[in-house]
Structure 1
Amino acid sequence: MKRDKTQFKWQEATGDAKFIADRHFDNLLEGRLFRSSCPRGKIESIRLPDLPEGYFVFGAKDVPGRNVLQMVEADWPVFADEEVRYLGQIILLVVGPEIKVLEQILDTIHVEYQPLTPAFTLPDSQKLTDGAIHGQDNKFDSHRINKGDVNSGFAQAEHIFEETLSTSYQEHMYLEPQGMVGYPQDGKIVIEGSMQCPWYVHHCISVVLGHNKVRVIQATTGGGFGGKEDYPDVLAGALCVAVERVGQPIRLILPRSEDIAFTSKRHPIDFHYRTGVDKQGKIVAMEVKIDINSGAYLSLSGIVLQRAITSCINVYEIDNVRVDATAWATNTSPNGAFRGFGSPQTCFGIETHLSHVAKQLGLEPADFKHDHLLNTDSTTLTGASIFGDLVLEQMYEQICEASDYHEKAKAYRQQSNKSDKLKGIGLAMFQHGCGFAGDLEDTLVKAKVRLVKGADNEVEIQVSNTDLGQGLSLTFCQIVADALKVPLTSVRLAAADTGVVPDSGPTVASRSIVIVGYLIEVAAKKLAGIWINGTEQCVEEDYKKPSYHKWDQEKFEGNAYQVTSYGMNIVEIELDPATGETEITGLWAVYDVGHAIDEMVFKGQIDGGFVQALGYGSLERMTLDSEGKFQQITMADYVIPTSMDVPAISSALVDNPYKYGPKGAKGGGELTHNGGAAAYCAAVESAIGLPISSIPITPEVVCDLLYGVKKQCLGNMTVTSGKIQGVAR
């Protein structure tokens, strides 16, 4: 497909794009949020100051419909009323013409609390001090998967290894902070904002207002990475109440420090593995325990939990597996969607654990993992057959050859640990299921797409999926133009406006290309079959899952996803043992995303996702103080990698077309984040010769490992049976 004269992302590239903060609205008022200063407690009283003329305060008593955010479950209130569950929970929205006056009003609002003992960590949550935060046991959700016979498998084991590993928070750090404007128009409440999922917001505010006279429009959006999936509901829920009451435009944009302090984060997860290996070095049994820190409300944690449990043994074939997974309530900001949606955490856990097992057995980790790779004839963790061809073997050979992995790994095992610089290299293999887990695409999402052809033969694509910088506004048009055999310039993507576009589902879960892209390709082929020049025509298409896709939600059996994409990353580093600092000297990546629609667009996904994952693994540290406040709330405190921190990434795609994807494509945007942190960890372990049990691996952590200041940083693997003959460095 030629791109001559196309202006993909032209306004963003030239600086002409109008973000929500750039927009002009007549008679615009500003909004500011009053948030809880107590992480857990009962609200006893709220005292408001006398308000200047033209200023308003809104809270739970002002909600005309239901005071809930209708997400997966309706447990998160728009405005806290009787209790608060986390520091920064919204209690009131203050509205008026001048921000300085709003801030003065916020300073004079006083809330009395009856404090309760907060639970910030998983052990705290499990203690149930002062009673449960949620339900009777603080469990939002839990699942178990059994494959094969775990007890029989462990009976065959020569060695049994146990280990606990953990991951921490990650902040999205999108370029544009959260923000939106609401206003009345044509008898409806309209919300425009920086968001990923307009129909999510539409459903949410319809419940809050108690009617369906609403319209939601995605403004030009400066990045999301999942952070603008659930949190726009939180802002829109409060904003729509004020707009309906005041009857004029109101803008609510979070300052960067407020955005970092209170918006959703990547879920911290604790993993416990128990793995049995027989005399031949084959894994014969594995038990995995997964505990997720959900924060104060469920939000999207149940879906993250489902992806974590279904992907927890990654790309490996293990006959006997038992997995128990639980999402726990704590008194922190609710954790939500983040690129990878649980898979980067599970990839770090399983890749690091298997590396440690291999080293205990005296084996090279890459060889040990390679011997357990899935193949086309394998059965997945949830008991499904593989659809299509797996090309993991080809990918493994390709990336190892490109990076000279085996020779370097051997050399670095033999280097002196007294060198001024220590070198290391690490490999991670990973996967990502495309679309929502199980049968949710069919039973819950039910995507619909529409193509509208004008009398001028120009075609408009009407879907609710949004372009956050990942390239949909180009690739969707390429799909339709190719199917219709028309110039790319004659196809355009409509604005994501619920007053115009059907609900094709949210822009999440690597579903936009493989699910929605396929639907618009099918619709385009139908349009091509009935095309009449100079005539207005319209074609719609609804999602129907492929016949091979079977799922039993009760048993957690079948195809966990419609299709899966795969990747492999290698990271090479040079480490200064005096400071613990690392320099990344080489990055390699190979992916199977079916057939890439536009390799240049996907190259952008590879580079961005890989670097974001390296930040997650190496330096993006986010910690809570004793009151439940994040200690890193500015870009000076929370540091992310830049282009100066990484070398050029050597990447390649293996062409493996998928029958039910547009032009053979599968999803890939989230896949590119899944393996980088695990590969970085493996590279650091290769350099220092010591096990690591958590990320991020900051220079301080490296120095603690090397010099033994904090023994808890060291690996915690135990061997409960068998005799180990040697340990590989």
Structure 2
Amino acid sequence: MNLKDISTAVPKKDHSGKVSGQLPYISDVKVENMVYGVLYRSPIAYGKITSIQLPNLPEGYEAVGAEDIPGLNYVKIIKEDQPIFANEWVNYIGEPILMLVGEDLNTLYSLLEEVKIEFEEHQAIYTLEEAIQQKSALGVTMASYEFGESLDIISAIEQKARQIIEEEYDTGYQEHVYLEPQGMLAIYNKDEIVVQGSMQCLYYIKNALLNALACGDNEVRVIQSPTGGGFGGKEEFPSMMACHVAVAAKAVKKSVMLVFDRSEDMAVTTKRHPAKLKYRTALDEQGNILSMSVDVFLDGGANEGLSSVVLQRALLNSAGVYKIPHFHAKGYVLKTNTVPNGAFRGFGAPQSFAGIESHIGHLSKLANIDPLAFKRNYLVKQGDPTITKGIFRDPILVEEMIEDLLNTSQYKQKKAEFHRLNQQNPRYKKGIGTSLFLHGCGFTGSGERDHIKATVKLVKTKDDLVSLKISNSDMGQGIYTTLSKIVAKELDLPLERVLYPNPDTKEVPDSGPTVASRTTMIVGKLLERAAKKLKAQWKPGKEQEVVENYVHREMIPWDEKTFTGDAYPAYSWGVNIVEVEVDTLTGNVKLEKVYGNYEVGKVIDERIMKGQIDGGLAQGLAYGYLEKMTSKQGKIQQKSISDYGPPTSLDVAAIESKVFDNPYADGPYGAKGAGELTLIGGAPAVQAAIEDALQTSFQQIPVTPEVIIESLWMREGEEG
């Protein structure tokens, strides 16, 4: 297989040569001696459990709670603050207190209605705004970081500034809307609990189970089932579900299945963190930026989970793609008594880019300069320092990508044409907007070296078939194809001779979680090296095994304590241009055309990359103008997909995209991360286009029809 073949070859879906179009999700699985579980969840946002009264349970039905946990009653993530079963305090509506298990789901739901739990209710914190006001109170701030220029220096610069601009920007929840809701099955065996289900990170789950069950490494096994989408929603959340079913299986000595319907999934699973970003920018007489301070506040919900790491990436992206003189950033994750928030494609970057792109766009209006022209004045270049005193080491092609898109989209001509049309049409207004963005590939700082320490294995059979033994999961993003192609090319094998079985912790080493745009770049590179090693010692007709371990490039310095150095080994880059038409009578926004240029090193598979671009853009654009989720008194209000309103095929315009080659030396064949990058630019670009159409500014996303109509009414009131 040559290098050209690697980007166009199509793998067979299975090694029988048949393509059925069907995969059994975890809810389709049936095993012997299996019962179902349903969870009794807290009906209050914050309080103390004072009594629990169970109904008379029929034969074969049992209750499982904190007292049945053999090990420690918390989900092992980062902090020990998330109980498997709440047994003293509850911290959000929907927190699991106990599980009822039995053969019939209807019976279980009827019994659930008869459970009586009394609480001593306490005052809850329901909103991020309330949490900001109380952030100095004990326990409200769950994590905080600060870096950049000292505030004393910035204060001195501000004294000489012509103008200080202060702006607040808000982003809301975003729901993952994966195709398959969360589901987990624990298969009971006397000497081993096997947990299988819909997941991204097998070893996260295994470590959580070892902690909860207080058992030996060989007594727990985790297997990924075919997974219908994740987008981060199946990174940390499945660890809690796995603990639920495993503890229950151990207690009742039966296999236990726990599957959510869509309404339960939407009510209790993690979301993208709502955020508030506060900007304070000093300008000179010409409108040039002298300094900028950013405060980032994330709503962590009731438990910290991965929020501290999400905050790190939000802060690392707080300056966008810009070299801003005298930049300072500070961020907080704050506790609210609402459903915990967590990993979501982009991992804090979409909030920051929505904010900084909007703020820079608004500064361009003050300077009376086209937003894209204004942004180009501040673009980082190769060799420039990052905001953590690292270096942008590799070539940056953003200028070429912009020039290409200006020509492709006819940006300048469209801008003038739309302005003319808008003067003639009182109802329908057209606009065009841009966004510039990047994404750091891999884990922040020394995460790969100090925390993950990835290992991969290749196993060759006597029939000269080669199996990938890694813990990374395919959830629809196409890594079965991508990683198999890397190995096939290196071994010069037909693609069907390379196997990628569903990951199973009994069979695969820990190659790290399937997150952070690290799978192709980090794991793919390890597999490339392992394949080279196997090729060098290839013995036809013999069983062989090759192991490869991650080695960190020492030229990439990072100090975790001071948060300084190179936060990422490499960056992927993107430019979006979006055209919209806004109906000023209804506030409805119609996407007319979407353009995207991306630089992800080297593309391994063109079709998969196009899928990532189209899917990521749809998700990012919807975050900017369509998808609205609200919490009222601690309770998520949207109960169905139709309530929430993700984009349908009618909402997505034609997407014209292009990928620029810029091979990265430490990626397989030059590849870098791509999956998260493609989402990030959608929201700021669509907001900028709506602003251009209406000649007004917005300080939040999503810019829904209600927000648009309210803005137009306010403007009419001011003009009147």
Do both proteins adopt the same fold according to a TM-score greater than 0.5, normalized to the shorter chain? yes
Q: Please name the residue that 2:12 is paired with.
A: 7
- The within-5 A match list for 1:606-617 is 606-617=613-624
How much has 1:386 moved relative to structure 2? 1.4
1:68: which partner in 2?
Answer: 74
Partner in structure 1 of residue 545 of structure 2 = 538
Residue of structure 1 in register with 2:117 after alignment: 111
Residue 170 of structure 1 aligns with an amino acid whose one-letter code is Q
Residue equivalent to 2:395: 389
Question: Do 1:66 and 1:210's aligned partners in 2 also have CA atoms closer than 8 Å?
Answer: yes
SS in 2 for 1:574: strand
Alpha-carbon displacement from aligned partner over 1:349-398 (angstroms, at most 9, x marks no partner): 00000000110111111100011101112111111111211111111111
1:635 shift after superposition: 1.7
Residue in 2 aligned with 1:701?
Answer: 707
CA drift of 1:6 comes to 2.8
Q: CA offset at residue 167 of structure 1?
A: 0.1
Deviation at 1:5, TM superposition (A): 7.1
Distance 1:204 1:6 in 2: 35
What pairs with 1:186-201 in structure 2 (closer than 5 Å)? Answer: 187-201=191-205
Offset of 1:151 from its aligned partner?
Answer: 3.4
Instruction: Give the unaligned 5+ runs of structure 2.
Output: none
What's the counterpart of residue 681 of structure 2? 675
Aligned mate of 1:138, from 137, 140, 147: 140
Match of 1:22 in 2: 28
Query: Aligned in 2, Cα 1:159/1:409: closer, same or farther, shift over 3 Å?
Result: farther
- Cα separation, 2, equivalents of 1:128 and 1:361: 37
Q: CA deviation at 1:707?
A: 1.2
Contact 2:286 2:367 in 1 (8 A): no
Alignment match, 2:57: 51
Q: Which whole-Å CA distance do the structure 2 matches of 1:638 and 1:35 have between them?
A: 22
Contact 2:39–2:100 (CA under 8 A) maintained in structure 1? yes
What is the rounded CA distance, in whole Å, between the counterparts of 1:623 and 1:593 in structure 2? 35
1:594 aligns to what? 601
Is 1:283 the counterpart of 2:286 in the alignment? no
Distance of 2:531 and 2:341 partners within structure 1: 38
Partner residue in 2 for 1:170: 174
- The answer to whether the 8 Å contact 2:580/2:590 transfers is yes
Normalised by the length of structure 1, the TM-score is 0.94
Q: Does 2:230 correspond to 1:230?
A: no
The amino acid that maps onto 1:334 is P
The separation in 1 between residues aligned to 2:325 and 2:372, in whole angstroms, is 20
- Whole-Å Cα distance in 2 between the matches of residues 455 and 387 of structure 1? 45
CA contact (8 A) 1:463 1:494 kept: no
SS in 2 for 1:637: helix
Q: Greater shift after overlay, 274-283 or 700-709?
A: 274-283
Choose the corresponding residue for 1:637, options 643, 651, 659: 643
Give the 3-state SS of the residue equivalent to 2:298 in structure 1. Answer: strand
Structure 1: which 5+ residue stretches go unaligned?
Answer: 715-729
Match of 1:521 among 528, 532, 541: 528
Query: Counterparts of 1:240-259 in structure 2 under 5 Å?
Result: 240-259=246-265
Contact 1:590/1:651, CA 8 A, preserved across alignment: yes
CA contact (8 A) 1:424 1:572 kept: yes
User: Mean Cα displacement is larger for which, 411-420 or 57-66?
Assistant: 411-420
Residue identity matched to 2:147: I
Equivalent position of 2:671 in the other structure: 665
Q: CA deviation at 1:568?
A: 0.9
In the alignment, the residues of structure 2 paired with residue 140 and residue 605 of structure 1 have an alpha-carbon distance, to the nearest angstrom, of: 33
2:64·2:251 contact (CA, 8 Å) conserved in 1? no
1:539-618 residue pairs with structure 2 within 5 A? 539-618=546-625
The answer to whether the Cα contact below 8 Å between 1:266 and 1:337 also exists between their aligned partners in 2 is: yes
SS at match of 1:708: helix
SS at match of 1:174: coil
Partner SS, residue 423 of structure 2 = coil
Pairs aligned (count): 707
The alpha carbon displacement at 1:280 in A equals 4.6
Q: Which residue of 2 aligns with 1:181?
A: 185
Residue 450 of structure 2 is matched in structure 1 by 443
Matched residue of 1:610: which SS? helix
Secondary structure of the residue aligned to 2:643 is: coil
Supply the distance in 2 between the matched residues of 1:396 and 1:539 (Cα, whole angstroms). Answer: 44
1:725 is matched with none
- Displacement of 1:15 in angstroms is 3.1
- Residue 421 of structure 1 is matched in structure 2 by 428
Q: Per-residue deviation at 1:453?
A: 1.1
Aligned to 1:180, the other structure's residue is in SS state strand
Comparing 540-549 with 305-314, greater Cα deviation is found at 540-549
1:358 aligns with 2:337: no
Specify the alignment match of 1:150 in structure 2.
154
CA distance in 2, matches of 1:709, 1:54: 65
| Alignment-derived partner of residue 266 in structure 2 | 260
Determine the structure 2 residue equivalent to 1:305: 311
Query: Distance between the aligned counterparts of 1:484 and 1:12, measured in 2?
Result: 25
**Counterpart secondary structure, 1:157:** coil
Question: Match of 1:623, as an amino acid?
Answer: T
In 2, the alpha carbon distance for the partners of 1:265 and 1:55 equals 33
1:376 aligns with 2:391: no
Counterpart AA for 1:606: I
Q: Distance in 1 between matches of 2:647 and 2:593?
A: 15
Answering whether residue 630 of structure 2 is matched by residue 623 of structure 1, we say yes
Partner of 1:453: 460
CA distance in 2, matches of 1:351, 1:341: 17
Name the aligned partner's letter for residue 592 of structure 1.
E
Q: Do the aligned residues in 2 keep the contact of 1:8 with 1:473 (CA within 8 Å)?
A: no
Q: Contact 2:287 / 2:366 at 8 angstroms: preserved in 1?
A: no
Q: 1:601: Cα distance to partner? A: 0.7
2:227 equivalent to 1:221 = yes
Matched, 1:482 2:499: no
Q: Is the 1:399–1:590 contact (alpha carbons within 8 Å) kept by the matching residues of 2? A: yes
Q: Which moved more, 1:552-561 or 1:291-300?
A: 552-561
Partner in structure 1 of residue 513 of structure 2: 506
Question: What do the CA deviations read for 1:41-89 (whole angstroms, capped 9, x no partner)?
Answer: 0111111111100001011111110000000112100000110000000
Q: Secondary structure at the match of 1:221?
A: coil
Partner amino acid for 1:702?
Answer: I
Task: Give yes or no for contact 1:147–1:319 (8 Å, CA) kept in 2.
Answer: no
CA RMSD of aligned residues (A): 1.9
Deviations 1:125-165 (A, max 9, x none): 24559x96xxx241111000114742354345333211000
Query: 2:42 is matched with which residue?
Result: 36
Q: Is the 8 A contact 1:43 1:112 kept in 2?
A: yes
In 2 relative to 1, CA 5–667 (structure 1 residues): closer, same or farther, beyond 3 Å? closer
In the alignment, the residues of structure 2 paired with residue 703 and residue 231 of structure 1 have an alpha-carbon distance, to the nearest angstrom, of 37
Q: Is the 8 A contact 1:8 1:474 kept in 2?
A: no
Aligned match for 2:335, one of 314, 329, 338? 329
The 1:297/1:369 distance shift into structure 2, 3 A limit, reads same
For the residue of structure 2 that corresponds to 1:181, the secondary structure is: strand
Contact 1:613 1:673 in 2 (8 A): yes
Say whether the 8 Å CA contact 1:417–1:688 is kept in structure 2.
no
CA distance in 1, matches of 2:536, 2:676: 35
Q: Determine helix, strand or coil for the equivalent of 2:612.
A: helix
Structure 2 CA distance, aligned partners of 1:385 and 1:184?
Answer: 52
Cα deviation, 1:429-481, whole Å, max 9, x if unaligned, reads 11111111111111011111111111211111111000000000000011111
Contact 1:620 1:638 in 2 (8 A): yes
Check whether the contact 1:216–1:498 (CA below 8 A) recurs between aligned residues. Answer: yes
Larger displacement relative to structure 2 (307-316 or 629-638): 629-638
| Cα displacement string for residues 113-135 of structure 1 (whole angstroms, at most 9, x for unaligned residues) | 11111111123224559x96xxx
Alignment partner, residue 160 of structure 1:
164
Q: State the distance in 1 between where 2:73 and 2:676 align.
A: 33
SS at match of 1:604: helix
